[in-house]
Amino acid sequence: MASILVLTPAPTEQVLPALELLSHQVRQIPAEPAQLVTAPECDVVIIDARLDLAGAKSLCKLLRTTGQDSPLLLVVTEGGMTAVSGDWGIDDVLLSDAGPAETDARIRLAIARAESTAAPTRVQASGITIDEQSYSAKLHGRPLDLTYKEFQLLHFLATHPSRVFTREQLLSEVWGYDYFGGTRTVDVHVRRLRAKLGDQEQIIGTVRNVGYRFNVYDEEQLAAVEH
């Protein structure tokens, strides 16, 4: 049995009727940032996107940037399904009329995936420290002012050090396979990320005619590069 928190702009309505037929502990509160401050601990967060897709997307990103590490499940209508993409930061999506068996399975699988992928929340390499819980990054202790996508790009590259990725691969992994923009988006974000790295922009390396990689340096090498 899991503890489930449902965030909805319509707290008096049933967001996912199938939950009433399951034995999980469910608490439903308004989908408002102020409510999140006192929100109880839970195993899964379910976000109601049936009536306000834009608001639900903003809420998903807010939850991730404020360190929410419980699986996020999104409830949508059939028509809303087409608007959901990889940059929402969710773990799974459910149609509002999903049956109890499907609902229970998705909840159990989301929890299992979260437990199996639990790993250190801090990545350190080449003078960069990345905190996955707070969605923050520092370069030699200096905070980097990164956008959400810049953070995701840096995090992905840093967790696969020295491996070369094509622009197409980065677009799929960071922006999501259903992103409709071109690979130039990757180049633009790499350029912005390098600008914020300043003298150590070479940490994000270019492999001509292939793509990009995260270069690993020790402290002595970094000092030599700076000078």
pTM of this structure = 0.53
Q: What is the CATH number of the domain that holds 83?
A: 3.40.50.2300
Query: Which tokens in the block code for residue 138?
Result: 């520092």
Q: Do 112 and 32 belong together in one domain?
A: yes
Q: Do 73 and 130 belong together in one domain?
A: no
Q: Last residue of a domain, which of 56, 82, 117?
A: 117
| Residues 6 or more apart whose Cβ sits within 8 Å of residue 195 | 201
In residues, how long is the chain? 227
Q: Last residue of a domain, which of 91, 117, 143?
A: 117
Q: Do 82 and 104 belong together in one domain?
A: yes
- Sheet containing strand 44-48, strands side by side: 25-30, 3-8, 44-48, 72-76, 92-95
Q: What is the DSSP annotation of 49-98?
A: -SS-HHHHHHHHHHHHHTT--S-EEEEE-TGGGGG--GGG--SEEEETT-
Count of structural domains, the chain? 2
End-to-end alpha-carbon separation of the chain, Å? 58
Q: Do 96 and 146 belong together in one domain?
A: no
Angle at 107 between CA 59 and CA 72, to 5 degrees: 15
Per-residue model confidence as pLDDT tens for the chain (227 residues): 889 999 999 888 889 999 999 999 999 999 887 777 777 788 999 999 999 999 999 998 888 877 778 899 999 999 999 999 888 989 999 999 999 999 999 999 998 888 776 555 678 888 899 988 788 999 999 999 999 999 999 999 998 999 999 999 998 888 876 666 788 899 999 999 999 999 889 999 999 989 999 998 766 555 555 55
Q: Do 93 and 198 belong together in one domain?
A: no
Q: Last residue of a domain, which of 117, 135, 153?
A: 117
Q: Do 109 and 129 belong together in one domain?
A: no
Domain range enclosing 34: 3-117
Angle at 189 between CA 73 and CA 225, to 5 degrees: 125
Closest CA to 60 of 32, 37, 90: 90
Q: Do 157 and 186 belong together in one domain?
A: yes
Query: Which tokens in the block code for residue 181?
Result: 């923009």
- Quote the CA–CA distance of 6 and 44 in Å, as a whole number: 9
Q: Do 136 and 103 belong together in one domain?
A: no
Q: Do 63 and 169 belong together in one domain?
A: no
Q: Do 66 and 105 belong together in one domain?
A: yes
Q: Do 112 and 144 belong together in one domain?
A: no
| Residues 6 or more apart whose Cβ sits within 8 Å of residue 217 | 126, 127, 203, 225
Q: What is the CATH number of the domain that holds 181?
A: 1.10.10.10
Q: Do 93 and 56 belong together in one domain?
A: yes
- Quote the CA–CA distance of 198 and 9 in Å, as a whole number: 43
